[in-house]
Structure 1
Amino acid sequence: MRRLLPPLPLVPPLLLAGCSGVQTPLDPYGSEAERIAHLTWVLFVGGTAIFGLVMALLAAALVAPGWMRGLLGSRRFVIGGGIVFPAVTLAALLLYSLGTSRALVTPRGDAPLRIEVIGRQYWWEVRYPDLGEGAVTANEIRLPRGREVELHLSSADVIHSLWIPNLHGKMDMIPGRVNRQRFTAERTGVLRGQCTEFCGLQHSLMAFWAVVQEPEEFEAWVARQREPVPPPEGEVAARGMRVFGEAGCGACHAVRGTEWQARLGPDLSRIGSRLSLAAGVLDNHRGTLAGWIAGAQDIKRGNSMPAYGRALDGGELLALATWLEGLR
């Protein structure tokens, strides 16, 4: 019979692998996530200890001498172990978890950086209203290290839920309502976030990246985002810009500094600088850009992006992808 489980020596490393990485609450990048990680370990360790105790008492009830089994079945032990102990333990855990919850919603400063995140089927619109007109991106949240931020979370269609495990807990995004979540990222790095509320066919492919940068790098990124896009460099990129307009892409997408300012789809002003395409589905480079434009419905069926594989020939796709890749 073929072995289905890993060899026993590999089990501890596999379990420990889930304690670090770009999408785990057990590798906190800020104090909020650290509180959640502490609560998680308290529940893990406490639950394991209680489970071990119950199993030991069960074994004793089955194989222990008669005097011990009689003690386990006594009225005093049943009341103490079956009523008093669970009540005290659960009350202590409740008080500890309520204290953690209170700390998570208590603001640390009066002037956090506001970031608007709008959930859409199946992508994320991200705006920075405190940083001026034009600070807009998609499927990527840039964060300055050491500065408190406040996410303003809303939805344009159905209920979504945002979760960046290394930074905070999940928060629902409800149509017609704005929920707020505050945290401070205290380490730089690239973290993965995910929609954690079923929102339709491509819910599992609705991810994003949270990029924590040093403050000066973040300010440089913001300044770059706010600038109008430069003229295309080279004949191929210029052709790509013409294809963008002729194919009607501007009916859904905005490109800063051009006539195209629609908001139905992601803002493409600096798409070349983003880490991924299609909400974390593809790495971002010229080849994947062309592939996504040509066959968006084959890659992520049910999203709002039409497939242009039959409308544009290979040269047009390459030119369009070249121009978009240059928008950095």
Structure 2
Amino acid sequence: MAGLTVATGVVVLVLTGLSYAGQRRLLGEEAAPVTIRVIGHQWWWEVQYEDPQPSRGFTTANEIHVPVGVPVQVKLESTDVIHSFWVPSLMGKQDLIPGRPSAIRFTAERPGVYRGQCAEFCGMQHAKMGLLVIAEEQADFARWRDGQVAPRPEPASDEARAGEAAFVAAPCSMCHQVRGTAAAGRNGPELTHVGSRRTLAAGTLPTSRGNLAAWIVDPHGIKPGVNMPLVKLDSDQLNSISAYLAGLK
């Protein structure tokens, strides 16, 4: 009996130590080489990459790139209701509670594309609040980050140039930002390099020119209840804007 008691005590101590080490790794406060602020919205993820040099910081949406083998700290906030940040293959769940910032840490051990999801019911389109974490070799991550820091690429065709003019003149520019243009809205996802993202509308559609046009024409038909308003565009405006956005890579 005494031996069983001692063995039980040892097991409890070992499990306590492992739990403490795991929690310290996930929730520790020490600085991480990559720091990202993720802000939950109904129903998409705002992703802000922080950097000691302000000019090296940038904002994207619904897609997170990280270097393999490097600790990443994710600072979490919500602007509206409770969301939950969860990428099952990389980390546990962490809630985003309005007015109560939190954080979680993780390290991707191998390259890959990891699907994430809001894990707390947050309204009508909770099921379509996904995200991707793309873990890549450090050199590839550095190239991606350099590309994201840069302003939008110059339109490559007359159609794309017309699309940029139409985008800036339309209500689109009141909600979305495209760095290097007069579009400076902050209510919707940042679009400077939207054409390089794998999905649209928080994982709802694969990124393509056709899906961009479909989303612009009828966002509520694709994702009912979304805050994006209907914008009246003629066919030429729609075609040119979709060409422009698809070229923002």
Seen in structure 2, the aligned counterparts of structure 1 residues 254 and 92 have a Cα distance that, compared at 3 Å, is: farther
**SS, match of residue 290 in structure 1:** helix
| Greater RCO, 1 or 2 (C-alpha within 8 Å, sep 6+) | 2
2:72 equivalent to 1:163: no
**SS, match of residue 208 in structure 1:** strand
2:184 equivalent to 1:266: no
Displacement of 1:99 in angstroms is: 3.8
2:29 equivalent to 1:106: no
Residues 30-109 of structure 1 mapped to structure 2, 5 A cutoff: 98-107=16-25
Matching residue of 1:223: 146
**SS, match of residue 106 in structure 1:** helix
Distance in 1 of aligned mates of 2:71 and 2:91: 13
2:69 equivalent to 1:146: yes
Displacement of 1:105 in angstroms is: 2.2
**SS, match of residue 119 in structure 1:** strand
Displacement of 1:128 in angstroms is: 0.9
**SS, match of residue 173 in structure 2:** helix
TM-score by length of 1: 0.69
Structure 1 gap ranges (5+): 1-84
CA contact (8 A) 1:116 1:153 kept: yes
**SS, match of residue 101 in structure 1:** helix
Structure 2 gap ranges (5+): none
Seen in structure 2, the aligned counterparts of structure 1 residues 109 and 176 have a Cα distance that, compared at 3 Å, is: closer
CA contact (8 A) 2:168 2:182 kept: no
213-222 or 109-118, larger mean C-alpha shift: 109-118
Distance in 1 of aligned mates of 2:217 and 2:14: 53
Q: In the comparison of the two structures, how many residue pairs are matched?
A: 242
Matching residue of 2:45: 124
Distance in 2 of aligned mates of 1:93 and 1:306: 57
For the pair shown, which has the larger CA radius of gyration, 1 or 2? 1
CA contact (8 A) 2:113 2:134 kept: yes
Seen in structure 2, the aligned counterparts of structure 1 residues 261 and 106 have a Cα distance that, compared at 3 Å, is: same
CA contact (8 A) 1:139 1:208 kept: yes
Matching residue of 1:181: 104
Matching residue of 1:254: 177
Distance in 2 of aligned mates of 1:273 and 1:103: 37
Structure showing the higher strand proportion among its residues: 2
Matching residue of 1:6: none
CA contact (8 A) 1:105 1:182 kept: no
- Deviation string, structure 1 residues 228-281 (Cα, Å, up to 9, x no partner): 112211111011111112221110101011122221100000000001000000
CA contact (8 A) 1:202 1:301 kept: yes
Distance in 2 of aligned mates of 1:199 and 1:301: 14
TM-score by length of 2: 0.90
**SS, match of residue 194 in structure 1:** strand
CA contact (8 A) 2:40 2:83 kept: yes
Structure showing the higher helix proportion among its residues: 1
Distance in 1 of aligned mates of 2:204 and 2:115: 12
**SS, match of residue 218 in structure 2:** helix
User: What amino acid does structure 2 have at the position aligned with 1:276?
Assistant: T
